[in-house]
């Protein structure tokens, strides 16, 4: 077992609130309430200590794609995001041929069984063509429950979420199927009306995939899916807080109506996250990244993001005016709860994995620990 670690002096964000000059004790992989005698403490005075980030919607990073890459590529992408504080990541796929997606699900499920990722999220192919975003229209299809079941089975118990346009034929039945199998049904890339969205929520859908993006805008006569998703306490809304996907007023609107307990920050990251500008592919589509913004070469649609969650956190508290506690809830506790992982990650509590992030007074990342081992060891002046 690794030697005990004591982290002391930081402002520690706990589920019950923030403790100034707090202390977190790590034994092996986990946080503990006990203290080993004579264990030296790492002095984190002037810093924040928050739970490791949990990203439930992520397509890749570090130049690697979770949809197209090899095992080594996928691990490179996972490790890139770990260096930015994401200690738990769900690997998201994009629209492809059904057999290709099923094969990819099998590969990703092995990495989930090894603890490298926290499961698989299928974004597409069951989405609305007119709201397809960066998905190949030629490969889209209606959400036939039999085909949805094929993907679930291929993931061997590691399917965590499926994004679908629930207004399409088979959509509501597919939502019910997902609920029966313990998989999150997420409404996204949708052209649904308000009434159709309410029907899907009543059938068991509990997540809005990147709220505001790839869905009709809020209308005063036709409120569409946004109003239904924001008003229902059963729904958690994903937000991409990169300054490109959302205007700050839209983020504030979501927090005002849903509250911090119903928001999950995600990256929706593609290969370029943590890597740089250049030419990439998202599934079969060509993407150009310029000044950190990813767009399809053909048509110019935004193609995921280059966001990492440390940047999303810093922006939330320094630009958007959120409290640190609200940002922690949205970036750690809420996604952990949705994924069924709240017993092991998402907050700093005895018995849970020692997944944590050290931030300086300006909320810049200074250290990352995952399962008791430093991924980024703090260099404190």
User: pLDDT (tens digit, 9 = 90+) per residue, 36-90?
Assistant: 556 789 999 999 999 999 999 999 999 999 999 899 999 999 999 999 999 999 9
Q: What is the C-alpha to C-alpha distance for residues 62 and 71, in angstroms, rounded to an integer?
A: 14
Task: Find the CATH number of the domain harbouring 86.
Answer: 3.20.20.140
Same domain, yes or no: 178 and 156:
yes
What pLDDT sits at residue 2?
Answer: 61
> Active site residue: 191, 232, 268, 320, which one?
268
284 pLDDT band (50/70/90 cuts)? confident
Same domain, yes or no: 45 and 21:
yes
245 is in an annotated binding site: yes
Segment 243-277, tens digit of pLDDT: 999 999 999 999 999 999 999 999 999 999 999 99
302 is in an annotated binding site: yes
195 is in an annotated binding site: no
Q: For residue 58, tell me if it sits in a domain.
A: yes
Q: For residue 33, tell me if it sits in a domain.
A: yes
176 is in an annotated binding site: no
Q: CA-based angle 253:254:258, to the nearest 5? A: 120
Same domain, yes or no: 368 and 315:
no
Work out how many domains the chain is built from and give that number: 2
Q: What is the C-alpha to C-alpha distance for residues 221 and 29, in angstroms, rounded to an integer?
A: 53
Q: CA-based angle 219:220:221, to the nearest 5? A: 95
Same domain, yes or no: 108 and 10:
no
Same domain, yes or no: 71 and 205:
yes
Segment 98-142, tens digit of pLDDT: 999 999 999 999 999 999 999 999 999 999 999 999 999 999 999
pTM here? 0.96
What pLDDT sits at residue 235?
Answer: 98
117 is in an annotated binding site: no
Is residue 189 within 8 A of residue 139, CB to CB? The reply is no
DSSP string, 24-49: EEEETTEEES---TTPPEEE-TT-EE
Query: Could you tell me which residues are beta bridge partners of residue 164?
Result: 187
Q: Give the structural domain span for 84.
A: 53-338
Same domain, yes or no: 303 and 183:
yes
What pLDDT sits at residue 381?
Answer: 63
Same domain, yes or no: 184 and 322:
yes
Q: For residue 242, tell me if it sits in a domain.
A: yes
Active site residue 268: yes
Share of the chain above pLDDT 70, in %: 98
Same domain, yes or no: 286 and 352:
no
Same domain, yes or no: 362 and 237:
no
Q: For residue 371, tell me if it sits in a domain.
A: yes
Question: What is the mean pLDDT of the segment spanning 229-235?
Answer: 98
Is residue 367 within 8 A of residue 377, CB to CB? The reply is yes
Same domain, yes or no: 67 and 173:
yes
Q: For residue 104, tell me if it sits in a domain.
A: yes
Same domain, yes or no: 23 and 168:
no
Task: Find the CATH number of the domain harbouring 32.
Answer: 2.30.40.10
Same domain, yes or no: 9 and 112:
no
Q: For residue 381, tell me if it sits in a domain.
A: no
181 is in an annotated binding site: no
């Amino acid at each position: 077992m690794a030697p005990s670690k004591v982290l002391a002096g930081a402002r520690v964000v706990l589920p019950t609130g923030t403790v100034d000059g707090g202390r977190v004790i790590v034994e092996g992989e986990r946080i503990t309430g006990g203290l080993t005698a004579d264990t030296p403490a790492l002095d984190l005075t002037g810093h924040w200590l928050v739970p490791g980030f949990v990203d439930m919607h992520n397509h890749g990073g570090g130049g690697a794609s979770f949809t197209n890459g090899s095992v080594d590529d996928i691990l490179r992408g996972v490790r890139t995001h770990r260096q930015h504080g994401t200690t738990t990541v769900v690997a998201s796929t994009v629209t492809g041929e059904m057999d290709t997606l099923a094969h990819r699900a099998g590969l990703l499920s092995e990495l989930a069984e090894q603890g490298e990722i926290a499961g698989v999220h299928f974004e597409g192919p069951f989405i609305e063509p007119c709201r397809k975003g960066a998905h190949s229209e030629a490969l889209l299809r209606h959400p036939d429950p039999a085909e949805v079941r094929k993907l679930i089975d291929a993931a061997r118990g590691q399917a965590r979420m499926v994004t679908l346009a629930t207004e399409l034929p088979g959509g509501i039945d597919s939502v019910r199927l997902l609920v029966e199998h313990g998989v999150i049904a997420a409404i996204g890339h949708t052209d649904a009306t308000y009434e159709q969205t309410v029907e899907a929520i009543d059938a068991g859908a509990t997540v809005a995939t990147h709220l505001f993006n790839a869905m009709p805008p809020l209308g005063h006569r036709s409120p569409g899916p946004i109003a239904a998703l924001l008003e229902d306490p059963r729904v958690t809304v994903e937000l991409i807080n990169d300054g490109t996907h959302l205007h700050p007023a839209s983020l504030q609107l979501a927090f005002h109506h849903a509250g911090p307990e119903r928001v999950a920050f995600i990256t929706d990251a593609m290969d370029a996250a943590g890597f740089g500008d250049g030419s990439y592919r998202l599934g079969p589509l060509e993407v150009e990244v310029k000044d950190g913004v990813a767009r399809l070469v053909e048509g110019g649609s935004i193609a995921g993001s280059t966001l990492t969650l440390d940047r999303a956190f810093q922006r939330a508290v320094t630009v958007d005016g959120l409290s640190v506690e609200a940002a922690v809830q949205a970036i750690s506790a809420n996604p952990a709860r949705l994924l069924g992982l709240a017993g092991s990650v998402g907050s700093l509590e005895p018995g849970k994995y020692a997944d944590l992030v050290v931030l300086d007074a300006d909320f810049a990342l200074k250290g990352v620990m995952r399962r008791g081992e430093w991924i980024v060891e703090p260099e404190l002046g």
